[in-house]
Amino acid sequence: MSFRPRFPRLPGCGVASVGHGGRPRRRLTLVAAAACIFLVQLDFYALNLALPAMAAELGSSTTDLQWVVSGYILAQAAVLIPGGKLGDILGRRRMLVVGLVIFGLGSLGAGLGSDPPIVIAFRVVQGMGSGVMYPLAFAVITEAFPGRRAKRAIGNAYGIGAVALAFGPLLGGGVTELISWRSVLLVNVPLCLVAIVAAVAWLPESRDPTVSRRIDLVGLVVVVLGIVAITVAADRINAWRPMVVAVLAVGGLVLLAVFVLRERVADSPLVRLDLFRNAKFVAVTLLGLVANIALVVTIFATTIHLQQVRGYSPFVAGLAVLTASISGGIAGPFVGRFSQRFAVRRLIGIAILVGALGLLVVAVGGEIGPYLLGLAVAGFGYQSGYTLTSLGTQAMVPAERAGEASGVTFTILFAGAGIAVAVVGTLIEQGDLATGIMRALLGTAVGSAVAATVLARSFRVG
C-alpha cells in the first residue's frame, strides 16, 4: 500500500542550490535552518525544568509526566523518516513550514491543556511537527554548503542553537517560577511565526528528483507501532504483569524486523536499506545513539534531582543545568572545525568518554561545586557526540539523499532516547528517589563509556 501525493511540481523540479546566491545567501539559509534547530532545543531544555511544577498543578507525579518528554520524543521518532521523505518529494522548504505550523499548534494546545492526557496528546502533536522540520533543517544546510564546508556549517548551526541550550534552562526555570509552566510552551507560538517568515524568505526550495513520489504507508504504520510497543513495555515494566510486558516488547521487536523485510520488497520504501551497507554511516549513527541517550537521561534526571532531592527552586535548578547547556553549546562550532581534520567516528568515541567522566562526578553527588563541574563536562562531551553524528552522517551521503539520511539517523537517535527516558523513569520510581536518580546516572555513565569503546573498536572505519 502506498500513497502518491497530488501536489503540483514547483518550478525547477531538480535539486535546488543556493550556491548561485553567493556567501550572503548561504548565511541567510544557515540562519533560517538554525532557527528550526533553535526551537526544538529550546523547547526540550526549557520544559524539563517545568515538569515538577506541571505535575503539581495537574495533580500528577513527575515520573508519570515523563510522557510529556518521552511521548514527544517518540512522536518525533515516528515522523522523522516520512518527514525527511516528504521533504525530498514535495520540497524541503515547504515541509519545513508545515512542520513549524504543526509544532506551533501543538505548543498552543499543550500550553492551554487542563489535564495530563490533553497536555501529553498535544505534546505528541508538537513532537510530530519537530519530527518533520528537524531533519530537513540539516538537509537544507547540506544542500547549501558543498563538500567539507557542510560539516562546519552544521557545527555553526548547532552554535546558533547553542543560544537555546543556554537560554532554555533559564526560560524553563525562571518563567515557571515567576509566571507558569504554561508560558514555557506558549512562547513557542510567536517563535514559530518568526521561523516561518525566515524560512519563506531565506530558504530556497529543493527536492530529490530521483526519488519515487510514492510513500510506503504500510511500512510507516509498522515501524511506528514497533517503536511504541517497545517504549510502552519499558515504561510499564513494574505496573503490568511480566508476561504482558514481555509479549509487548517482543511484539515490538518483531514489528521492527517486519519493517526491515517490508522495506526490502516495497516499490517505494521509506528507507533505502543500502544506507546500512555504509559501515561509516552505521558506526557514526550507533555512536550518536549512545551520546544522545546519555545526554537526554542526564538532563531529565538532574532536573528532577536538583528540585525534588536537593530542594532548589525551578529558577535555581535552571541556573545549575545552564552549566551543561552552555558547555554543550560551545561544542557545536568547536567539533564542526575539528571534524574537518579528524575521523568523525573517533571524535565521537572520545566525546562520549569525556561525557561519561563528567557524569560519574555528577552521580557521586556531594558538594554543588563538583556537581556543576561534572554537569558542564558531561554536557560538553555528550553534546559534542550528538553534533558530530549530525554532521558526520550528512557528509557520508549524496546531497540529494540528505533528507532521507537525516530522517533515518534522527529516528534511531530519538527513538532510543524516548525508550531510555521511559526506562529511567521506571528506575527512579523504584524505592528512594535520590537513590534511583543516582543509580540511573551512574548506569548511564558506565554504560555509555563501555558502549562507545566497544563500538569504536568494532568498526575499523574512518
Note the pLDDT of residue 364. 85
User: CA-to-CA distance for 426 and 443, rounded, in angstroms?
Assistant: 14
- What Rg value do the Cα atoms of the chain yield, rounded? 21
- Predicted confidence (pLDDT) per residue in 415-433, tens digit: 787 778 777 877 777 667 8
Q: Which three cell numbers stand for residue 296?
A: 537526554
List the one residue out of 297, 343, 294, 290 whose CA is nearest residue 454: 290
In a domain, 8, yes or no: no
In a domain, 234, yes or no: no
Q: Put residue 59 in one of left, alpha, beta given phi > 0 → left and psi -120 to 50 → alpha.
A: left
* Cα gap 422→237, rounded to integer Å: 10
Would the pLDDT of 205 be above 90? no
Model confidence at 3: pLDDT above 50: no
DSSP 277: G
In this predicted structure, the answer to whether residue 406 has a pLDDT above a threshold of 70 is yes
Q: How confident is the model at residue 28 (pLDDT cuts 50, 70, 90)?
A: confident
How many Cβ atoms sit within 10 Å of the Cβ of residue 283?
Answer: 23
Q: How many residues does the chain have?
A: 462
**pLDDT for the residue 17:** 42
pLDDT over 70 at 29, yes or no: yes
Place of cell 513494574: 238
Query: Can you give the residue range of the structural domain that contains 187?
Result: 21-215+268-458
Q: Choose among 291, 234, 309, 246: nearest CA to 447.
A: 291
What letter represents residue 129's amino acid? G
Portion of the chain with pLDDT greater than 90, in percent? 19
Confidence band of 255 (pLDDT split at 50, 70, 90): very high
Cell of 142: 547540506
Give the span between the Cα atoms of 75 and 125, in whole angstroms: 7
Q: What are phi and psi of 230, to 5 degrees?
A: -65, -40
Cα gap 158→291, rounded to integer Å? 16
Contact 34, 137 (CB under 8 A): yes
> Is the CB of residue 2 less than 8 Å from the CB of residue 268?
yes
For 57, 67, 115, 430, the CA distances from 60, given in Å and listed in that order, are 8, 12, 9, 17
- Cell match 552521580: residue? 363
Q: How far apart are CA 378 and CA 84, in angstroms?
A: 30
Cell numbers 558531561: residue:
378
Residue 258 placed within a domain: no
The three-state secondary structure class of 346 is helix
Q: Cell 561509516 maps to which residue?
A: 280
Can you tell me the distance from the alpha carbon of 289 to that of 73, in angstroms, rounded to the nearest whole number?
13
d(CA 206, CA 219): 25
Distance CA 162, CA 76 (A): 20
The contacts of residue 445 (CB under 8 Å, 6+ apart) are 294, 356, 357, 359, 360, 362, 363, 378
Q: Report the greatest alpha carbon distance in the chain.
A: 62
The number of folded domains in the chain is 1
Report which residue type is found at 139: A
Q: Residue 440 pLDDT > 70, yes or no? A: yes
Model confidence over 307-354: pLDDT tens digits? 888 888 877 887 887 888 788 778 777 777 777 677 777 888 899 999
Strand partners, 3: 215
Residue 459, class by beta-carbon neighbours within 10 Å (0-12 exposed, 13-18 middle, 19+ buried)?
middle
- Out of 32-46, 98-112, 200-214, 354-368, pick the least confident: 200-214
Tell me the C-alpha distance between 384 and 412, whole Å: 18
Strand-pairing partners, residue 38, are none
Looking at the domain assignment, is residue 444 inside a domain? yes
248 falls within a domain: no
The pLDDT value given to residue 326: 80
Q: Is residue 1 part of a domain?
A: no
Does a structural domain hold residue 225?
A: no
Q: Count of alpha carbons within 13 Å of 416, Cβ hemisphere only? A: 20
Non-local CB neighbours of 49 within 8 Å, separated by 6+ positions: 169, 172, 173, 176, 184, 303, 307, 314, 317, 318, 321
Q: Average pLDDT of 447-452?
A: 91
The bridge status of strand 2-3 relative to strand 215-216 is: antiparallel
Lowest mean pLDDT among 93-102, 296-305, 396-405: 396-405
Angstrom distance (rounded) from CA 214 to CA 227: 23
Which CATH number goes with the domain that contains 47? 1.20.1250.20
Top pLDDT among 104 and 11 is at 104
Q: Kindly report which listed range (338-342, 362-366, 405-409) carries the lowest average pLDDT score.
A: 338-342
Categorize the per-residue pLDDT at 399 as very low, low, confident or very high, splitting at 50, 70 and 90: low
pTM for the whole structure: 0.73
Amino acid at 196: I
Contact partners, residue 197, CB within 8 Å, separation at least 6: none
Is position 237 within any domain? Answer: no
Q: Does residue 96 carry a pLDDT above 80?
A: yes
